Chain A
Amino acid sequence: QQQVKQSPQSLIVQKGGISIINCAYENTAFDYFPWYQQFPGKGPALLIAIRPDVSEKKEGRFTISFNKSAKQFSLHIMDSQPGDSATYFCAASISGGSNYKLTFGKGTLLTVNP
Chain B
Amino acid sequence: DVKVTQSSRYLVKRTGEKVFLECVQDMDHENMFWYRQDPGLGLRLIYFSYDVKMKEKGDIPEGYSVSREKKERFSLILESASTNQTSMYLCASSPGPIMGEWTQYFGPGTRLTVL
The interface of chain A, by Cβ under 8 A from chain B, is 6, 9, 31-32, 34, 36, 41-46, 49, 51, 89, 93, 95-96, 98, 100-102, 104-107
**Is A44 within 8 A of B108, CB to CB?**
no
Residues of A near B33 (CB, < 8 A) are 101
Contact B102 A102 (CB under 8 A): yes
A-B interface, 7 closest residue pairs, ranked by CB to CB distance from nearest: A43-B106, A106-B42, A95-B100, A104-B43, A107-B42, A44-B106, A100-B31
Stretch of B11-19, B77-85, B89-97 at the chain-chain interface: B89-97
Complex CA–CA separation, A96 to B42 (angstroms): 25
> In the complex, what residue of chain B is closest to A94 when comparing beta carbons?
B102
Say yes or no for B58: interface residue by CB 8 A criterion.
yes
Docked-complex contact B108 and A46, CB < 8 angstroms: no
Chain B residues whose C-beta falls within 8 Å of the C-beta of A95 in the assembled complex: 97, 100-102
Chain B residue contacts of A43, Cβ below 8 A: 4, 90, 92, 106-109
Contacts of B44 in A (CB 8 A): 104
Contact A45 B106 (CB under 8 A): yes
Using Cβ atoms and an 8 Å threshold, which residues of chain B touch A31?
100
By the criterion CB–CB under 8 Å, are A96 and B100 in contact?
yes
* Min distance, Cβ A55 to any Cβ of chain B, angstroms: 18
Given contacts A42-B108, A100-B50, contact A89 B43 (CB under 8 A): yes
- Contact sample, A vs B, 11 pairs, CB 8 Å cutoff: A36-B106, A43-B90, A45-B105, A46-B104, A51-B101, A100-B48, A101-B33, A101-B45, A101-B58, A102-B104, A104-B44
Kindly state whether residue B8 has any CB partner on chain A within 8 Å: no
Task: Render B31-70 as a binary contact track against A, CB cut-off 8 A, 1 for contact.
Answer: 1010000001111110010100000001000000000000
Partner of A46, one of B41, B103, B109: B103
- If A43-B92, A44-B90, A95-B97 touch, does A100 touch B102 (CB 8 Å cutoff)? yes
